[in-house]
Structure 1
Amino acid sequence: MRERPSSRLLIVDPDDRLLLFKFVHLAGALKGQQFWATPGGGVDPGESYAAAACREMFEETGIRISDPGPEIAQRSVTFTLVDGEEVSSDERYFLVRVAHPDLSSVNWTELERAAIAAQHWWRRAELTATGETVYPEDIVEMLARAGVW
């Protein structure tokens, strides 16, 4: 199984709301699955987790940052990619505070455009109460441990 290190972004706005993307898979190995997850993605060869976080921040939100902030969590998880490949991922979570909730999808890949159906800024109570699938499953606890919520 291929190792796929990744940087995940816990993006929080001035109102302490967390940005999540809703992924809805209409085709491929994940057809029929839908869930909310953090922005972020794989670390490129030779790239650090922090550099990947900065790159992913720009690609997925349009916001340029030179420092992704503190790495507040790490998890190891196995999952299936859209193309059906099963990977083992060492995920690092960075807390990024933004000055405003304005986002751009202009740099999204075709794959992201096909899978991301919505974006939403979540309050703690709303996220705690949702019945929808959210990854990582302990995201509320991650943010509580970091002092955000």
Structure 2
Amino acid sequence: MHTEATGACGDAYEGGLRKVARVVLLDPEDRILLLHGHEPDDPSDNWWFTPGGGLEGEETREQAALRELVEETGITDVELGPVLWRRICSFPFAGRRWDQDEWYYLARTAQAATAAATALTELERRSVAGARWWTCEELTRAHETVYPTRLAELLRRLLDEGPPASPVTLDPEIV
């Protein structure tokens, strides 16, 4: 099992608990935008994941979430909402171990078209193959690997009940 280590600082990450901001971006039809990633040297080892990445310098997680969204999708018309979920994960990717503290922000956009990602790191250029909007039903039926692993269930609850009163801590994913 692999997961999403790309994002700003992806090329410079050298261990420790990496602070990551991810975006659960919904369009007016409640579809979620996911990126299609793969192991840099093995495109057949692939998965879908939410946009986002590591914090740079002194930026806040909110700032990182918005920056990463622009860098990875070109989407700038975004209303950033609350933190929905938090999780700790650890996984091998691109020949090293990644230990991440991820916060997932809700965001809404009317901008359904993604632009060519122009600010990708070298690692992202080698491991991100595109983006796609998914309905909750499509996610539920998907046979592809999606991170976080319970995303279809989490999205259904979000759409049915709205954002949680405080961030929900997801089970750690350690590979």
The equivalent residue for 1:95 is 106
Residues 62 and 107 of structure 1 are in contact (CA less than 8 Å); yes or no, is this contact kept in structure 2?
no
**In 2, distance between residues paired with 1:35 and 1:45?**
28
Which is richer in strand? 2
Map 1:1-149; keep pairs closer than 5 Å. 2-27=16-41, 32-64=44-76, 68-82=80-94, 84-104=95-115, 105-147=117-159
**In 1, distance between residues paired with 2:46 and 2:61?**
26
- What does the per-residue CA deviation read over 1:16-35, in whole Å, with 9 as the maximum and x for residues that have no partner? 111111112241xx775211
Q: Which moved more, 1:13-22 or 1:62-71?
A: 62-71
**In 2, distance between residues paired with 1:26 and 1:55?**
23
Root mean square deviation, CA, Å: 2.1
Given the two structures, how large is their TM-score scaled by the length of structure 2?
Answer: 0.74
Structure 1 residue 79: deviation in Å?
Answer: 1.5
Residues 78 and 108 of structure 2 are in contact (CA less than 8 Å); yes or no, is this contact kept in structure 1?
no
Gaps of 5+ in 1: none
Gaps of 5+ in 2: 1-14, 162-175
Residues 17 and 100 of structure 2 are in contact (CA less than 8 Å); yes or no, is this contact kept in structure 1?
yes
Structure 1 residue 15: deviation in Å?
Answer: 0.9
Residues 16 and 148 of structure 1 are in contact (CA less than 8 Å); yes or no, is this contact kept in structure 2?
no
* Letter in structure 2 aligned against 1:89: Q
**In 2, distance between residues paired with 1:118 and 1:33?**
15
Give the % identical residues.
37
Structure 1 residue 13: deviation in Å?
Answer: 0.8
Structure 1 residue 148: deviation in Å?
Answer: 6.0
Given the two structures, how large is their TM-score scaled by the length of structure 1?
Answer: 0.86
